[in-house]
Structure 1
Amino acid sequence: MMNTAVHEAAHAVVYMAAGYQIGELVLHEPGDQSHGGRAHVNYLAASGPWLDWAVTCAAGERAEVRWLRETGRWSLERAWVAERLAWRDRSQIGEVYRGGHNRELTFNGDHDDWGDYAWVMDRTDEALDPVWDQVLTLAQHVTVRWHVAGEEAARITGF
């Protein structure tokens, strides 16, 4: 539960830290397939730099892996699961690259190429560092409440 909460809270907090608003953050009951995933963040419509959206999308996976490491739960298998569960997030980043840059997102591990997912992950880690405590605070809150309205998420995290 906390793993999922950290993933979704990171999406929400990074989005709010960039100056945008969310409508809600919801954890779904285990096994509930009606929403297409284990949880979701409803983002309120916004316009801004493409990198804000790419970093928001990557934030869940990066936070999930960071939390696993920091709590001593990381394993190759769990990291693989975090990556696989982020397929929709990675697809959304790919759409930004195709639609906005007429370029395919690559996965070559090239930290110097802005078109590679490794570069996006580096920017995401930079965005997560200053808000990490806020991510954990919101994650803890959502594990108790399961549904957090956007205004409540902003208040809890200080936005």
Structure 2
Amino acid sequence: MTTTLCSAWHVDRGLGLTTRQPAPRLDQPTTAYRILGLPDPLLRQGIAMHEAGHAVLMLRLGMPFTSVSVADDLGHGPDKQGSAGLVDFGASYSAPVPDVLLSSAAGERAQDRWLREAGLWTEDRAWVVEILAAHDRTIIDQAVRISHPDGPTYGVSSDPTVDLAALHDYVDVWLHGLWDQVVELASVLNRRGTLTGAQAAAITSFSSNGGTPESGVTE
């Protein structure tokens, strides 16, 4: 685990995000996927790692979901409004705030670790992983504001329920202990495209996942 320093964070007012990595210096307009510069098989594996990170933490914490999936178009097909992947967890979902924080941050941290282990990590790619987790960051922001109306801080507190840097460090510790399950689930998800909550639980050797009948997503 690497302790995150305050100076490592960068405010991007255009995107409305505070990121660990600085935004790339670009000479002309481009897209996030062009900055990633990964062929589709690697892009798909990275998305699978992201979703598996969410799913494994949810399973470990006893948070039910109906399915986890990777989009066929990887989020950059003709309908670019769609998600690259999602965990379907139900429209009327509730869980303890600490569990919501952990599971929401696990996707981008799993994808970042995968980039490092695959020898693909660069500042620019890590920045893209962060901005593509904007939906997850919104969930984290909303959860933090329940008890802290000013929202998350960045590298100024050791409290993972308030500070995103501390939360990332905390999630990294959880992922380290669950990494074999994340890798295995991502591998199967990459091949199949969609898994039910019960299938994901069986693959990771967690107790059976009950799931819920309605539709909602964590991206």
TM-score if structure 1 supplies the norm length?
Answer: 0.91
**Aligned residue in 2 for 1:69:** 116
Deviations 1:95-116 (A, max 9, x none): 0011343331123x23524421
What TM-score, normalized to structure 2?
0.67
Equivalent position amino acid for 1:2 in 2:
Q
* Residues 18 and 52, structure 1, Cα contact 8 Å, conserved in 2: yes
2:21 matched residue in structure 1: none
* Cα contact 2:49–2:114 (8 A) shared by 1: yes
Kindly indicate whether residue 70 of structure 2 is the aligned counterpart of residue 24 of structure 1.
no
Q: Which amino acid in 2 is paired with 1:153?
A: A
Structure 2 residues without counterparts, runs of 5 or longer: 1-43, 207-219
Q: Which moved more, 1:32-41 or 1:83-92?
A: 32-41
The question of 1:103 aligning with 2:143 is answered no
Distance apart, 1:75 and its partner CA? 0.7
How far apart in 1 are the matches of 2:69 and 2:81? 10
Which has more helix, going by share of residues?
1
Instruction: State the secondary structure of the residue aligned to 2:66.
Output: strand
Number of residue pairs aligned between Structure 1 and Structure 2: 158
Using a 3 Å threshold, how does the CA distance of structure 1 residues 158 and 74 change in structure 2: closer, same or farther? same
Residue 19 of structure 1 and its aligned partner are, at CA, apart by: 1.5
Residues 111 and 102 of structure 1: CA distance in aligned 2, closer, same or farther (over 3 Å): closer
More displaced 10-residue stretch of structure 1: 16-25 or 53-62: 16-25
Q: Which entry has the higher C-alpha Rg, 1 or 2?
A: 2
Aligned residues of 1:98 and 1:104 also touching (Cα < 8 A): yes
Residue number in structure 1 paired with 2:86: 40
> 1:35/1:11 Cα in 2 relative to 1: closer, same or farther (>3 Å)?
farther
Conservation of the 8 A alpha-carbon contact between 1:23 and 1:149: yes
RMSD of aligned residue pairs (Cα, Å) = 1.7
Letter in 1 for 2:179: W
**1:133 paired residue number:** 180
Query: Residue type of the partner of 1:20?
Result: M
1:34: how far off?
Answer: 7.3
For 1:157, the aligned partner's letter is T
Instruction: Give 1:80's match in structure 2, choosing from 127, 137, 154.
Output: 127
1:92 counterpart SS class: helix
In structure 1, the partner of 2:104 is 57
